Structure formats: C-alpha cells, structure tokens
Amino acid sequence: MRNEHYLIAHTIPIFSTLGEREFECLLNMTYLQSFPAGTQLIEEGDPSEFLHIILKGVIELFCSSNNRETTMFVLRPVSTFNLSAVLENTSYSMSARTLVKSKVLMVPAENMRKVIEVNAAFAHAMVSELAKRYRSLINAFREQRLLSSAERLANYLLRASEETSVGLQVKLTENRRTLAALLGMSPEHLSRAFNKLKDYGVEAKGGKIILANLKELKQFSESTG
C-alpha cells in the first residue's frame, strides 16, 4: 500500500473484494490529483480514460443540452463516478466539476477492464454496484415525472432525516442553489417549496432544517395531488 489514500479507496464496496495484489494491479498508473473549486474534470461525450474516485471535496455531475444544464448527482467521499462508461469503454455520459476544492484518485479505465476480466468477484461487485445505481436512477426519474417540486423536496428532507438527523433536525449538506439544481428546479422555486412545507412542520433556518411534524410531512410527500 502506497499511502493512506489507497487505503481509503480500498474500503469502498466495489474494491473491498480485491486482494492486495490485485488492488495494486488496479492502481498501477493511477493519479492522485487535487483540484480547486469550480474545475471541470470531465466533459460529457469525451472518451472515458479514468474511473474517478472522490476522496475529498464535493463533485457535481451534470448534463447539458440546448444551452441548458441540469445537475444529475452531487457526490461526496468516498464514491466513484463514470463506472458505466469505463466498463463499456465508451464516452462519458455526464460532465463533472468540483464544487469545492477536491481530491480525486484517477484509475485508468483499462485497469478496471483488465481486473474485471480475471477476477470474478470483482465482476460480481460491478454487477451489484450497477444494479443499485440503476435502481436509484429509476427512482430519481420517477420522482421527476410524478412529484411536484415541493413533494420532491419533502422526500429529500425525509431521506436526509433518516440518514443524518439529530432528533428532528436535519443539516443540509448543499447550499440552496445546488440543492435546487439537484432536485430539478430553480433556486427561486426552491424558496417557495420551502414556504409551502412550512404548513407541514418544516422550519428552515440556513442550513439547519427542523422537521417538527414527520407524520404530516410524510403524508404530504406520499399522497397529495
């Protein structure tokens, strides 16, 4: 093991199946790079050269069409992106930029494809990872089509409260602008969505949100028209 960063990378699910030797092989020719905030790391459509592993900071994955842009995901350590493009040896399906100063491990795509060929457990881990991502993307797509902006926000807050809440308080990890983009709405509209949720016990003060009435909020997010 060369240093702490590699140890960190080894802990994530898709790499934990690998033995020391194979992991070393995977990391051959890997770059560790730091980027300032606002740096575009990859451009949608470019051929995939690396699997990116985010070790520090925040990365936004986004897509563009017709001079418009939408945020697909906001990623934090420790996670990877571009997996599907790398495995298929095709072009990136999304662009990526840093939202804050970030540290990224860049594993040559070819290494991934080589190791997958010889290591069945690694292939199974890929299957599992891709299936999970597929399912979560299905859910995001469904929410986009079926739920209003306020309902999407309610769902987001409820999920966040399951993961990170202290009592009824949720601490937002994104600023309002980023959260709006992630939920597929304008920043102005996010403000109004928060206002609407006040009726359901959502008190928002900066990055701290209090969900005073979980039951009503759930009811709103699940059954309102």
Structure tokens at 121: 């457990």
In 3-state terms, what secondary structure has residue 206?
A: coil
- Spatial strand order of the sheet with 79-81 comes to 31-35, 102-108, 50-56, 79-81
Residue type, position 108, single letter: P
Least Cβ distance, residue 166 to its own copies (angstroms):
29
- Of 11-19, 25-33, 123-131, 171-179, which segment contacts its own copies by CB under 8 A? 123-131
Find tokens 């028209």 and name the residue. 225
Least Cβ distance, residue 125 to its own copies (angstroms):
10
Contacts for 39 with CB less than 8 Å, ≥ 6 apart: 97, 98
In 3-state terms, what secondary structure has residue 51?
A: strand
Based on the shown chain and the rule CB under 7 A, indicate whether residue 76 belongs to the binding site for DNA: no
- Of 3-11, 27-35, 166-174, 216-224, which segment contacts its own copies by CB under 8 A? 216-224
Binding mask 137-156 for its own copies (x = CB under 8 A): xxxxxxxxxxx---x-----
- Of 131-139, 161-169, 191-199, 215-223, which segment contacts DNA by CB under 7 A? 191-199
Least Cβ distance, residue 149 to DNA (angstroms):
4
Q: What is the DSSP string of 59-128?
A: EEEEEEETTEEEEEEEE-SSEEE-HHHHHHT-B-SSEEEESSSEEEEEEEHHHHHHHHHH-HHHHHHHHH
Tell which positions 134-153 bind DNA, by CB under 7 A: 148-150
Selection from DNA, its own copies, none that 123 binds (CB < 5 to 8 A by kind) is: its own copies
Based on the shown chain and the rule CB under 8 A, indicate whether residue 133 belongs to the binding site for its own copies: yes
Q: Which is nearer to DNA, 42 or 181 (CB)?
A: 181
Selection from its own copies, DNA, none that 217 binds (CB < 5 to 8 A by kind) is: none
